[in-house]
Amino acid sequence: MTEQYRQDFFVSWEELHRDTRLLCKELLATGKTWKGVIAVTRGGLIPAAIVCRELDIRLVDTVCVASYEGAQGKSQGERVRVIKAAAGDGEGMLIVDDLVDTGATAAAIREMLPKALFATVYAKPEGRRLVDHVVREVSQHTWIRFPWDMQLHFAVPLIETMRPPGAAGTP
Domain residues of the chain, as ranges? 7-162
Has 97 been annotated as catalytic? Answer: yes
Q: To the nearest whole number, what is the mean pLDDT of the chain? A: 90
Is the confidence at residue 78, as pLDDT, over 80? no
Per-residue confidence (pLDDT) for residue 69, from 0 to 100 = 63
Which of the listed CATH numbers 3.40.50.2020, 3.40.50.1000, 3.40.109.10, 3.50.50.60 matches domain 7-162? 3.40.50.2020
Active-site residue identified among 19, 56, 61, 98 = 98
pTM for this entry = 0.84
pLDDT of residue 76: 54
DSSP code at position 85: P
pLDDT confidence bin for 152, thresholds 50/70/90: confident
The C-alpha atoms of residue 76 and residue 27 are separated, in whole angstroms, by: 29
3-state secondary structure 130-161: CCCEEEEECCCCEEEECHHHCCCCCCCCHHHH
Across the range 144-167, mean pLDDT stands at 85
Side-chain half-sphere CA neighbours of 62 within 13 A: 15
> What is the rounded average pLDDT of the residues 76-96?
90
Q: Which of 8, 19, 56, 101 is catalytic?
A: 101
Q: Is 61 a catalytic residue?
A: no
CB 8 within 8 A of CB 74: no
pLDDT (mean) for 59-69: 90
Structure confidence by residue, pLDDT tens digits, 110-140: 999 999 999 999 999 999 999 999 999 999 9
Distance of alpha carbon 61 from the chain centroid:
17
- Residue partners of 158: CB distance under 8 A and separation at least 6: none
Choice among 56, 97, 132, 149 that is catalytic: 97
